[in-house]
Amino acid sequence: MTLKLLYGFHAVGARVRAAPDSVRELLVDMSRHDARMQQFLARAQAAGLAVVPADAARLDALAGTHRHQGVVARVEPLDKLSTLDAVLDAAAGVPLLLGLDGVTDPHNLGAVLRTADAAGVHVVFAPKDRAVGLTPTVAKVASGAADTVPYIMVTNMARALAALRERGLWVVGAAGEAQTTLYAAEMTGPTALVLGAEGSGMRRLVREGCDQLVHIPMRGHVDSLNVSVAAGVCLFEAVRQRVGTASN
């Protein structure tokens, strides 16, 4: 089994909390004596993990250009559902999916995954040919969400949307030129939200694969939002609608 590396308090700490048995080696710069490190070490001890002391040079060599904050872990990949059908079959509650078309920046993907986790998204999916994979940078920015939210890369985005529609999901795409606002969309039922990259947006066939196009109302001078911010706005509008429905 190929182990992967996680760096920093957020990514490593989230794995320690969620799946401590998957941590095969935990390397820590023991020259750090600040409160944050002491809290992390206490959490690792409570999880029954042994700590391997490592100096900064060794951690730097493992992390390369990534900022490790004195903490690096070798971990087993977590078993995840590997297809959209499998995710939908296993989903608890009303499905909420997020599709990303053309998001290639690892920082953006990490931020989107973190938001998706907070919103209770069942899966994030993207096309294999126009997307970034789950890199160490993605894992660090996601602060543990890369382990909790399935990220599936599909062969063809338009076909994936068609398959979701056949399963009864309502596909809502965000597009700046859309006439309908996000807040007029109905997202209390099984829903797949689709966002494109900032600037280029969704590709034509992906756009045509949506049941409805909506825009986020903009009140200032800029005409677009970073994709991770747009994901937060759209996902939590869906959450707001569902919370309201559940309380009735």
Q: What is the pLDDT of residue 177?
A: 87
Percentage of residues in the chain having pLDDT higher than 90: 65
Task: Say if residues 174 and 195 touch (Cβ distance below 8 Å).
Answer: yes
Question: Please, where in the chain does CATH 3.30.1330.30 lie?
Answer: 4-75
Count, residues in the chain: 248
Better pLDDT: 113 or 223: 113
Q: What is the mean pLDDT of residues 203-208?
A: 94
Kindly tell me if the per-residue pLDDT of 87 is higher than 50: yes
User: Which residues touch 218 (CB under 8 Å, ≥6 apart)?
Assistant: 225
Please give the full DSSP string across 39-79, using - where no structure is assigned. HHHHHHHHTTPPEEE--HHHHHHHHTTS--TTEEEEEPPPP
Percentage of residues in the chain having pLDDT higher than 70: 96
Q: What is the pLDDT of residue 245?
A: 62
Residue 62 has φ and ψ, to the nearest 5°, of -70, -40
Q: What is the pLDDT of residue 248?
A: 44
Q: What is the pLDDT of residue 96?
A: 97
Question: Please, where in the chain does CATH 3.40.1280.10 lie?
Answer: 84-247
Q: What is the mean pLDDT of residues 225-238?
A: 95
The CATH classification number of 84-247 equals 3.40.1280.10
Cα 68 from chain centroid? 20
Better pLDDT: 21 or 170: 170
Kindly tell me if the per-residue pLDDT of 209 is higher than 50: yes
Q: What is the pLDDT of residue 81?
A: 65
Kindly tell me if the per-residue pLDDT of 217 is higher than 50: yes
Question: Could you tell me the pLDDT band of residue 232, with boundaries at 50, 70 and 90?
Answer: very high
Q: What is the mean pLDDT of residues 4-9?
A: 88
Task: Say if residues 168 and 141 touch (Cβ distance below 8 Å).
Answer: no
Kindly tell me if the per-residue pLDDT of 247 is higher than 60: no
Average pLDDT, the chain: 90
Dihedral of the alpha carbons of 102, 108, 112, 114, in degrees to the nearest 10: 150
Q: What is the pLDDT of residue 83?
A: 87
Tell me the per-residue pLDDT of 32-85, one tens digit each, with 9 for 90 and over: 989 999 999 999 999 999 999 999 999 999 988 888 999 999 988 776 667 898
Residue 80 burial class via C-beta count within 10 angstroms: exposed 0-12, middle 13-18, buried 19 and up: middle
The verdict on whether residue 225 carries a ligand-binding annotation is yes
Please measure the distance between the N-terminal and C-terminal CA atoms of the chain and give it in whole angstroms: 49
Superfamily grouping for domain 4-75: Ribosomal protein L30/S12 (3.30.1330.30)
The verdict on whether residue 196 carries a ligand-binding annotation is yes
Question: Which residues share a beta bridge with 75?
Answer: 4, 23
Rounded to an integer, what distance in angstroms lies between the CA atom of residue 230 and that of residue 216?
Answer: 8
